[in-house]
A = this chain, B = another copy of it.
Amino acid sequence: MIKVGIIGGTGYTGVELLRLLAQHPQAQLTVITSRGEAGKPVADMFPNLRGRVELKFTEPDDRALSACDVVFSATPNGVAMQHARTLLDAGVKLIDLAADFRLKDSAVWEKWYGMPHACTDLLAEAVYGLPELQREKIKPARLIANPGCYPTAVQLGFLPLVEKGLVDAAFLVADCKSGVSGAGRKAEVHTLFSEASDNFKAYGVPGHRHWPEIKQGLEAMAGKAVGLTFVPHLTPMIRGIHATLYARLTDKGVDVQKLYETRYAGEAFVDVLPPKSHPDTRSVRAANTCRMAVHRPQGGDTVVILSVIDNLVKGAAGQAVQNMNLMFGLPETTGLDQLPVLP
């Protein structure tokens, strides 16, 4: 059994980690920390865990965490980088679900996250945990930067075209729609039910932190600079991201459907739908799957990719467990085989 610790388990990625890990046959939940809720049984906060998770929240404590085999950090940005050095030195693997290790360039990171980086020396070692892109680097890694939710949906959607250089990299558009749980479990006015329900809006058009993350990933795939326009929107549902991606083909002869089917043929968690399909976000609700469909409307040179994930699973906790499985030599799907919940 893998001894697992969680730093900051009171948010939505925290409870989702708990749901997945409590059902994982090789994981043993050992420590879960919360500065604000120390002493409280986890199941008092999240009643879906009653009778199944007996742990109590404890104060953050690097000694207790150091006894784990792996620690997931499900905290706000800026926390994991405080613990990373100590945990790695103690031989603990660390998977950060926040953004501390996602950007390779610390200057870019500091610009977008508005704080100094506490351990820039680890940025080079950290592996960006998108298994479909760099599975072999994840397996031996000690430190994983678990990708953001939008970046997962967008990068998986663009990957086959961009890595082959088949589209005009200067004008890529990612129009993304997220359920409200992506904003986290913080008391804020704009995500109140009465504000976010029966409403739809864009946000962060002038600049969103996932833009440099996606851009870095696409540029690595393309091997050159890309021009990316990224517009996130808030949609009145709890879970789910729908990325609608637009690009212009440079080679109009390519069979895009076949390209995608081939690229993802061996992937357990990517499902390319048949031609003319439109994936629902609910078709992946509560599961670690990315479903996608590819289109060329009116047979033109614009390709449209539709890519959906559950932002809390493939966009956060599920992908983190997938990374854990890889790091510990388990079959990649271990503990991640629950069927999506529909309706």
- Taking the nearest CB of chain B, how far is it from the CB of A108, in angstroms? 13
Contacts of A340 in B (CB 8 A): 48
Chain A interface residue count, CB cutoff 8 Å, equals: 87
Query: Once the chains bind, are A187 and B185 in contact (CB under 8 Å)?
Result: no
Contacts of A293 in B (CB 8 A): 205
**A26 interface hit (Cβ, 8 Å):** no
**A93 interface hit (Cβ, 8 Å):** no
Interface core residue of A19, A200, A244, A306 (most chain B CB under 10 Å) = A200
**A102 interface hit (Cβ, 8 Å):** no
0/1 string, A194-238, CB within 8 A of B gives 1: 111111111101110001000000000000000101110101111
Determine, out of A73-81, A144-152, A158-166, A173-181, the stretch whose residues face the partner at the interface: A173-181
Given A171-B248, A205-B297, A295-B205, A281 contacting B200 (CB threshold 8 A): yes
Specify how many copies of this chain sit in the oligomer. Answer: 4
Given A238-B198, A280-B200, A339 contacting B19 (CB threshold 8 A): yes
Given A194-B191, A233-B177, A200 contacting B295 (CB threshold 8 A): no
- Taking the nearest CB of chain B, how far is it from the CB of A137, in angstroms? 26
Query: Once the chains bind, are A236 and B238 in contact (CB under 8 Å)?
Result: no
- Taking the nearest CB of chain B, how far is it from the CB of A200, in angstroms? 5
Contacts of A46 in B (CB 8 A): 342
Contacts of A181 in B (CB 8 A): 194, 343
Contacts A50-B271, A285-B341 supplied; 16 other A-B pairs, CB < 8 Å? A19-B341, A23-B337, A47-B283, A51-B271, A187-B187, A191-B192, A198-B282, A200-B280, A200-B281, A201-B308, A203-B278, A207-B298, A229-B300, A231-B244, A238-B343, A246-B246
In the A-B complex, list the 10 residue pairs whose CB atoms are closest, starting with the nearest: A48-B340, A48-B342, A47-B283, A175-B175, A193-B196, A180-B193, A199-B282, A187-B187, A181-B194, A205-B295
